[in-house]
Amino acid sequence: MVILNYFDGEFDMSKLLSLKLRDKVFLDAEEILSRSRKPRNAYFNEAINLYNKLWKRKLLKKILAEESAMVADESLLVLEAFELLEDELDK
């Protein structure tokens, strides 16, 4: 089921989900919700959004590490070429 919400001057589509949560996860969430007075839906949206951001950062870290390794090899070759050029100029 798709629900349209009006948020910050724009329509935002929401999806209706059915979730199976472990008892401990549910009870922890309920305890936090009772103290924060935040609607359950808003709490779970915020939690999933934060988790998505965490995974995006992990994926980006992996991509950057791979690309950095590729660039490092290339940088060493360029450095070596410049050192050879510098040695030739010093003669």
Q: How many domains does the chain have?
A: 1
Residue 88 lies in a domain: no
Residue 16 lies in a domain: yes
Q: Which amino acid is at 16?
A: L
Instruction: Tell which wins on pLDDT, 42 or 8.
Output: 42
Residue 80 lies in a domain: no
Label residues 30-67 b or e (16+ Cβ within 10 Å = b): eeeeeeeeeeeeeebeeeeeeeeeeeeeeeeeeeeeee
Which residues span the domain enclosing 6? 2-64
Residue 70 lies in a domain: no
Residue 17 lies in a domain: yes
pLDDT score for 17: 86
pLDDT band of 1, cuts 50, 70, 90: low
Residue 91 lies in a domain: no
- pLDDT, one tens digit per residue, over 23-79 is 999 999 999 999 998 999 999 999 999 999 999 999 999 999 999 988 888 888 888
